Amino acid sequence: MRLIFATHNPNKVREIQSIVPGYIKIQSLAELDYHTPIIESGFNLEENALMKAKTVYDQFNRACFAEDTGLEIAALHGAPGVHTARFAGENATDEENIHKVLAELGEETNRKARFRTIIALVMSPEEIYMFEGLCVGHILNAPQGNHGFGYDPIFQPNGYDKTFGEMTASEKQAISHRTHAFEKMNTFLVRYRSPR
């Protein structure tokens, strides 16, 4: 079985390929020489993931999946959410996004947060499936660690004494929201199709 992953990020492709069985081959948009920007104008993660997956499915008429991930902070009413990558502006750096989150939280004591990944899988126009992965934790008062990317230095998962930014890639992957969502999709795919 071949699946298109609606991403150009080779690290994400490697991550999912390491989770799914060997008979499922993952292809990225870069491998298909598809470089047309996909508009992400949804009001939530589900809409964005589905837009990306449907756009690519319509282009290639092949099974496709896409993911969208957001940081949702309780005291900010779920923000940055769908705007996670550009919370501080369209071309904001990770540092600028972190600064804006910390500034908006200020002295707030409720620092509960979660990373949430949504995967939209389009097997056909009539067969659309969604999978969710969560990692719950809280936002620190200042960045710690320089591993990872995005908000990793200020997000500390519940039950751990270090941030994503202080964890190794394998430590983070073992508990990450993205891994949880991919594992749910993998479980579904194993049941959906037998090896061909």
Token pair of 168 as six digits: 């190794």
* 152 is a catalytic site residue: no
pTM across the whole model: 0.91
What torsion, rounded to 10 degrees, do the Cα atoms 6, 65, 19, 180 define?
A: 110
Q: 33, 58, 68, 94: which one is catalytic? A: 68
- Residue 196: pLDDT over 50: no
Say how many residues make up the chain: 196
Quote the CA–CA distance of 23 and 92 in Å, as a whole number. 39
**What is the pLDDT at residue 194?**
55
* Domain total in the chain: 1
How confident is the model at residue 74, as a pLDDT? 98
- Which parts of the chain are beta strand (E)? 2-5, 25-28, 64-73, 112-124, 127-139, 155-157
Q: Is the dihedral of CA 149, 155, 157, 162 positive or negative?
A: positive
Report the CATH number that the domain containing residue 48 is assigned in CATH: 3.90.950.10
Distances (CA, A) of 80 to 36, 138, 187: 26, 14, 30
